[in-house]
Each structure stands twice: as structure tokens, then as C-alpha cells.
A and B are shown apart, each in its own frame.
Chain A
Amino acid sequence: GENVEQHPSTLSVQEGDSAVIKCTYSDSASNYFPWYKQELGKRPQLIIDIRSNVGEKKDQRIAVTLNKTAKHFSLHITETQPEDSAVYFCAATRGSQGNLIFGKGTKLSVKP
């Protein structure tokens, strides 16, 4: 069935460094790829998303890239700050209009 693989499961960086989280998906019909940030004990919140007709999208220190041919997309966080520490989830639609399938999450720790 449809699957989203996310790597790494944990990531530790120094404040100011960049962080990259990668996801691959199996359904070639997937057309929407959001990223969620979940702080401890709180709900996941959308931080950035990209659609299949776009290769890259930026929002200040956060960017997402999509390679449809290879079926992978990545989250890039530059100039990381301690408040970026959280669990990040990638997701992809099941088909072109289906439910979101989530990756297993990446726990990012930013050390001051």
C-alpha cells in the first residue's frame, strides 16, 4: 500500500546550523506534501506545504523541496534556534485527493 518513509528519526544540531529532514513516498499520484511541527504535549501544526506542480517553496528560515521523479521531498531549516526543537512530520496525499499519510516523525533537538 501507500507509504511515507521519513529520515532521520532523530536529529541533533547546534544552534545556528542547518537541519534537513527527508521523506520518500510511494504513490506517484500524491500531489500535496505538508510538513507539521509538534511540540511536546501539543497538537501538530502546519509549518509549510508544497504541491506537486512546484519544486521548491520558502518561508523565512524554512524551505521544502520536491523531486517528483524520485518521489522524495525534504524540509530545510536554516539558522536553527532552540525553539525549533520539536518533532516534525512529513505527509503525502493518498492519490490525488485522498487522506494524508504521515511519516513516523523526526525529533529535532537544537542545542544552544
Chain B
Amino acid sequence: SQTIHQWPATLVQPVGSPLSLECTVEGTSNPNLYWYRQAAGRGLQLLFYSVGIGQISSEVPQNLSASRPQDRQFILSSKKLLLSDSGFYLCAWSGTAAYLHFGNGTRLTVT
């Protein structure tokens, strides 16, 4: 069966520090991969998606970036965090069916 792993679960980082969140999927090949952000009490904002290794599409301009170095690995990064980057970050994957399978999320607090 397919599983998605996302870490860390929680993270507290100072403003201006770098960020790296990692997500891996097991049990499937060539998944579509996604990074979403959810601000407190708000909806799901799509940040990046990828249909293959090295293929990244950005939905919103920001100081975040994403990379897909391997088929089932998706990384969200920032060189310098802003206060507004605080939120709940969710990695997700989809296969031939359209529905998304979400990871457990990372709660990021930028102080």
C-alpha cells in the first residue's frame, strides 16, 4: 500500500533562517507531488506541484522553492524565512486518480 511521510512534524525557526521540509512517498511510481500551506483557520493554498523529477510548477510567487531530486521525494525550501511563512505545510500525492493523499503536515512557527 502507498504511504506518505512528511517531517518534521513541528518546527520553530527564527526570521531569516533557512528552511527545509522533506516529503517521501512509498508504494507508487511517478506520483504527482504537491506542497500546500494552510494558515491558521484558513483554506488550503497550493504552493508547488510536480509531475516528474526536476519538474516544478509554482502557483504563487514567494520566498519559497521546491525541488524533486528523486521520483518520490519532494522538498520545500527557503533561504530566509519571513514571519508570514508560519503555517501548516502539507505534502500530498496523487496517482492516476485525481484525489489527493495528504501527509501528516508540518507546523512551522517563525519567530
Residues in A lying within 8 Å of B, measured CB to CB: 32, 34, 41-46, 49, 89, 93, 97, 99-100, 102-105
In this complex, which of B44, B46, B49 has the most chain A Cβ atoms within 10 angstroms of its Cβ?
A: B44
Residues of B within 8 A of A (CB): 34, 42-44, 46, 49, 90, 98-105, 107
Of the residues B46, B98, B102, contact of A44 by C-beta under 8 Å: B102
| 8 interchain residue pairs of minimum CB distance | A104-B43, A43-B102, A102-B44, A32-B98, A34-B99, A105-B43, A44-B102, A46-B99
Q: Which of B34, B98, B100, B101 has the largest number of chain A CB atoms within 10 A?
A: B98
For the residues of B in contact with A, the DSSP-based class is loop
Determine if A34 and B98 form an interchain contact, defined as CB atoms under 8 angstroms apart: yes
When C-beta atoms are compared, the residue in chain A nearest to B98 turns out to be A32
Interface-central residue, A42, A89, A100, by most chain B CB under 10 Å: A100
CB distance from A42 to the nearest CB of B (A): 7
